[in-house]
Amino acid sequence: MKLIRPGKKKTLALLVSFILLVITGFALKFPESFWAAPLVRWEKDFPLRGLVHRIAAAVLMGAAVYHAMYLIAMKSGRQWLRAMLPTVKDVRDSVETLGYNLGYRRRTPSYPKFNYAEKAEYWALVWGTLVMAATGIVLWAHNLMLEYYPKWVMDVATAIHYYEAILATLAIVVWHFYAVIFDPDVYPLKWTVLTGRAPAHEVREEETEPASAAVELAQASGVVPPASAPEPANSANVEAVDVPVAPTDKQCVN
């Protein structure tokens, strides 16, 4: 699988801006920590931390607007969005995957182009970006907001912005980092973010789903003999293929 060039640039912008937002944002809450002290030390003479935080926020929102325009204006974007919508099959796949991980099933279910975990991470990113952008703009325009609204509005925006930042950071560090770094199939790193290429066994097309369902039905009825369980794919020895796909935030962030 190969990401097209605009997708890789958007992913890089998302990656860099998110890291800068985390560092400069938490530096305001923990100014005495060893990693935040150098940034906060500049605040008396030049608001470096605040400037970097706002620039990174603008880049993140720009990437979000670009992605939204792609989903609306491009046919491939609309197809990509339909493939990312949650379905009943996602619930069934999650239950069957849990059964496989607990040893109750012999194999994992046949996933569509985007599985339930990828969809959940994508929509979590969408929700988090909207919340952080809305509350961040309120805090950015604090003088204007205090002129027209009571102080408690700012307090609520500050609390939501802070705790959503904690949630987003934990989601990346615990969930996304496992998927792209610590997962045994991709360790020590999933290079897709840098090369735009992914192992062939990770390429899943929705068009194959009806055929797979028909084969499973035929095997269950005895028309077709059941196939032997496939060997676990190892990303280290699977050849990568070049299949243009739409840019995603998941092969993000997500």
- Residue 43 banded pLDDT, cuts 50, 70, 90: confident
pLDDT at residue 198, as a whole number: 63
Domain count, the chain: 1
25 is a domain residue: yes
26 is a domain residue: yes
pLDDT score of 234 more than 80: no
5 is a domain residue: yes
> Which residue range is the domain that position 5 belongs to?
1-79
pLDDT at residue 120, as a whole number: 94
List C-alpha distances in Å: 38 to 43, 172, 211. Answer: 10, 25, 58
Mean pLDDT calculated for residue range 106-120: 90
- Residue 184 banded pLDDT, cuts 50, 70, 90: confident
State what percent of residues in the chain have pLDDT above 70. Answer: 73
Top-confidence residue, 1 or 135: 135
Write out pLDDT tens, residues 30-42.
Answer: 998 998 988 888 8
164 is a domain residue: no
48 is a domain residue: yes
Place of tokens 């990401």: 3
117 is a domain residue: no
Top-confidence residue, 59 or 15: 59
216 is a domain residue: no
176 is a domain residue: no
Top-confidence residue, 172 or 187: 172
Top-confidence residue, 209 or 173: 173
